[in-house]
Structure 1
Amino acid sequence: MALIHRPRLVAAVAAAAAVLATLTGQATATADSPTVTKLTLGADQFKMTDTSYVSATDNLYTHHLTNHAGLTDVITTDYTKNSAGATDSWLGLRSMRSCTGDETKALPPATTSTAWCWSSAHADDTTARWWPQGLSTTGTADGADGAIQGDHVTAVVWHYRTFARDAASDTTGCKSNNLLKLTFIDRDTGKYRHVLLAEPTSTSSSASDFKYVTGHGGGIVWYANYIYVTDTAHGIRVFDINKLAKVDDYGSGLTTYGIHNGRSSACGYPYVLPEVHYYQQSGTPSACDSDADNGVLDPAHLCYSWLSLDKTGGSPYKLVTGEWYGGVDGGRVVRYQLNPAGAATYPGLLNMSGGKTVIEDAYAASRYRGLQGGMTWTDGQGVLNFAFHKGCGTLPGVFSHTWAGDTRAGTTCAAGGNWAAGPPQALSYWPKLDATQVDELWGLTEGICPSNSLKTAYPEDFADVTDARDVCYAHNDSTTTTSLRTVFAVGFTDPAVQNLH
């Protein structure tokens, strides 16, 4: 990663080194106090245990999901017929579009090296049911030439949304609230395909079935052959791309999953990606939003809202997760030790000691709230840096670059933001593309401006906006839904990125 040198920080970092906080409620901090505060954790605080599905997935892959697939198959095979042989345009490999018109309002005010919007062929750009959340890339996964299995790929995880008024009925087949799917995007062609994330129905080495996975999907990290996905109240799931498989039955309208009468299906998608590990904390938080204990964060449990990978600062690597918590200040940022892919023990997986994950360090985002994406890196002077994405609804969001010891006043939603609208979600770093050092910061936005009909049908979920600065303000009386969904990359060292707070 490109290292940002800031000599004026040394004194501030030294002064801040003695500042520690407990994990009881975080008081609102003044503008001249640290933006992030190092925490002292209890012996097992926020540690997770590992439930292994390796044997179960291996059995499924060997005896039931026997039509094996590689990453290249997924991003290049253009199906035009379903498994019954009938023409089915729903299965056609989709293509990302360049962002145009109102969609560009969801891009950050910085020069983009990549600016994609989703295909409208199957309403990925405007659907109110599926929402893109976490993002990671093969640039993060590899670091040598930015490729995995020879492909340059961006991965995005989505969750299915059940609306308030039909929550009781919208649960059949593959319509479960927070059902997760993963999208692989070929950077070189812009083509992409959705894949169902799956979990074996048992941990047994004789497991013979699988089910879909649910969760918010707020964070994702791709490292080596593993894809890590957050499960907000519980922990982190791990999927193995070396176990990608094509199912037997696929096509539009298919709402089955698992293995029945010897045939597999995956909610209509042609490919399934099985889980191999599930790291879980003991117990669950009282809440993971602004209603949490009247504004006090749960001291014993973590909310896994977003995820990123930090390979700087020497061994070990760090898997970084943080909390959203809505309108509550002080969401925690916890960095777990991640072993290199070539390690002798737990290769490519979280480091374990005494049956529990090992935590490198933890911080409170003392003067931040509502963080929807984040990352850390250690610069050439040994200073730990943080970058955060904060969404402001469909108002311009906030990008903040801060560091251990920083006391500057931050940009707020009320001040008009400084970044993408939509709102912005995950952050991910892409260092090299083949032999070229690109130093890219990747992110995405999730939003839509709903049509009149959508607002009328689901008033509890969609309403008119009243702030004229809001990107959706001009669409309050619109017959169509407008997309604010983008996938973008900007220069990591760009002053328009590094000088923001």
Structure 2
Amino acid sequence: MPGTPAEPTFGVHLVRTEENIAEIDALAGVLGGRVGLDGLLESLKWQAKESLLGRLLGRAVSRAITWDAYDRRDVRWWPQGISTSADASDTEDIGGRRVLVATWYSKVIGGVSYGSRVTFLDLDTLKYRHVLLVTPRLDKAGKLVLRPLQIHAGGVVWAGQYLHVAATSRGFVTFRLDDIMRVPGDDDHPDEFGIDDERVASYGHRYVLPLRFSYRAETDEGHTRLRYSFVSLDRRSEPPTMIAGEYGRGSDSTRLARYHLDPSTWLLETGEDGFSRPIELDDGGVVQMQGGVVAGGRYHLTVSKGPHTPGSVYVGQPGSFRRRMFATPMGPEDIAYWPSTDELWSISEHPRRRWVFAMRRSWFD
């Protein structure tokens, strides 16, 4: 249309890869089919509990939950990302359940990283279960090969049937929850991984979720690639948007980006050139931000001060943020918003100081 200004490009974009349909079908054949999210939620195993200490350690905290004794202390697996059924559904529940999903990445111990995983937690029963993220591949001979997904998983958006998980300089990776599969008997093989004579081992995880496709981070000539350190969902914008941000220290960039999502699919909108480009890209984030979400028309950014000092939340707009100190327990990571309760949910990472916690948004007004 004459006179219509061109859409901004900002010099960065995402390219969606092909779906791993044949590979996922092959894995389903080995494991006896898919069980999906419904099957997983019917077999939640581990027991979390309410934590008074977590509430006391953050001034804004209204509720705190901690994992079972093993997961609280585990030095291999570190929690990072958070999203909820309030992101996933207009009704804020999944089959009547209020559910939270968290991402974890594995430290390298003994020369081995177990990759990354997601955890589904029922907020009423406090039961939960871990699901290992995997990448299935078919080699040249058509043989199925399985690998753990090696990403930092610093943030996650649960949108409809999809999980979008931050993968830093790679962009982000996407999973369909219908693809969750059960691994028979793998609780007995915590240190094994792979496929051997059609027996699947998955580092002791009874459930796996295979990678469906990726959104690969690319740049236009002369621009710097955006790092997808964390992601979140703004359901209240029209259309809904995904927010992505960069963790940075010193002179590193700390940009915040927004992408339109198609509400009929919950995938990124794509232009005629096949690229998904941000509708906004701002340089005005804050140093060492671990997560960011928009609620009440303002950004809320979490910043950790290490394993011994409670964390901060920065509130405002890019380039103009106000710091609220001691708002969270130590080590806050990603952040998500629950509209009906007007609460912000976050997660902390350090062993023996691990909580999933809700904060009153009104505390930041």
TM-score, L = length of structure 1: 0.66
Q: The residue matched to 1:248 in structure 2 has which SS? A: coil
Alpha-carbon distance between aligned partners in 2 of 1:255 and 1:350, rounded to the nearest angstrom: 37
Alpha-carbon distance between aligned partners in 2 of 1:207 and 1:225, rounded to the nearest angstrom: 28
Residues 351 and 152 (structure 1), Cα distance of their counterparts in 2 relative to 1, 3 Å cut = same
Structure (1/2) with the larger strand percentage = 2
Aligned counterpart, 1:424 = 332
Deviates more, 1:397-406 or 1:132-141: 397-406
Q: CA offsets, 1:310-345, max 9 Å, x none?
A: 122322x111110111234650011112111x2xxx
Q: CA offsets, 1:132-161, max 9 Å, x none?
A: 000111111112x21224432111111111
Aligned counterpart, 2:58 = 108
Equivalent pair of 1:180/1:197 in contact (CA under 8 Å): yes
Aligned counterpart, 2:353 = 484
Q: The residue matched to 2:267 in structure 1 has which SS? A: coil
Residues 300 and 207 (structure 1), Cα distance of their counterparts in 2 relative to 1, 3 Å cut = farther
Q: Percent identity?
A: 27
Aligned counterpart, 1:148 = 94
Question: Any unmatched runs of 5+ in structure 1?
Answer: 1-39, 79-92, 164-169, 284-297, 432-436, 449-482
Alpha-carbon distance between aligned partners in 2 of 1:328 and 1:391, rounded to the nearest angstrom: 18
User: Moved runs in structure 1, 4+ residues, more than 6 A?
Assistant: none
Equivalent pair of 2:55/2:61 in contact (CA under 8 Å): no
CA RMSD after TM alignment? 2.6
Q: The residue matched to 1:74 in structure 2 has which SS? A: helix
Letter in 1 for 2:268: L
- Correspondence 1:59 to 2:25: yes
Letter in 2 for 1:355: G
Alpha-carbon distance between aligned partners in 2 of 1:349 and 1:212, rounded to the nearest angstrom: 24
Alpha-carbon distance between aligned partners in 2 of 1:52 and 1:277, rounded to the nearest angstrom: 6
Aligned counterpart, 1:48 = 14
Aligned counterpart, 2:3 = none
Residues 330 and 300 (structure 1), Cα distance of their counterparts in 2 relative to 1, 3 Å cut = closer
Q: 1:98 aligns with which of 10, 26, 50?
A: 50
Residues 418 and 131 (structure 1), Cα distance of their counterparts in 2 relative to 1, 3 Å cut = same
Alpha-carbon distance between aligned partners in 1 of 2:217 and 2:59, rounded to the nearest angstrom: 38
- Correspondence 1:326 to 2:249: yes
Larger Rg: 1
Q: CA offsets, 1:149-197, max 9 Å, x none?
A: 443211111111126xxxxxx23xxx317x1011110112000111100
Aligned counterpart, 1:411 = 323
Q: CA offsets, 1:48-83, max 9 Å, x none?
A: 1111234235423552332421324323426xxxxx
Residues 52 and 44 (structure 1), Cα distance of their counterparts in 2 relative to 1, 3 Å cut = farther
- Correspondence 1:351 to 2:269: yes
Letter in 2 for 1:336: Y
- Correspondence 1:188 to 2:124: yes
Aligned counterpart, 1:372 = 290
Residues 308 and 202 (structure 1), Cα distance of their counterparts in 2 relative to 1, 3 Å cut = farther
Q: 1:280 aligns with which of 208, 216, 222?
A: 216
Aligned counterpart, 1:118 = 67
Q: CA offsets, 1:343-387, max 9 Å, x none?
A: xxxx22111121211322111125x2100010125x5xxxx5211
1:450-461 to structure 2, matched below 5 A, reads: none
Equivalent pair of 1:391/1:424 in contact (CA under 8 Å): yes
Q: 1:312 aligns with which of 236, 240, 248?
A: 236
Q: The residue matched to 2:40 in structure 1 has which SS? A: helix
- Correspondence 1:231 to 2:167: yes
Letter in 1 for 2:120: F
Equivalent pair of 2:233/2:241 in contact (CA under 8 Å): yes
Letter in 2 for 1:311: R
Alpha-carbon distance between aligned partners in 1 of 2:344 and 2:46, rounded to the nearest angstrom: 24
TM-score, L = length of structure 2: 0.88
Q: 1:391 aligns with which of 304, 310, 315?
A: 304
- Correspondence 1:438 to 2:356: no
Alpha-carbon distance between aligned partners in 2 of 1:60 and 1:127, rounded to the nearest angstrom: 33
- Correspondence 1:68 to 2:7: no
Question: Any unmatched runs of 5+ in structure 2?
Answer: 1-5
Alpha-carbon distance between aligned partners in 2 of 1:371 and 1:328, rounded to the nearest angstrom: 14
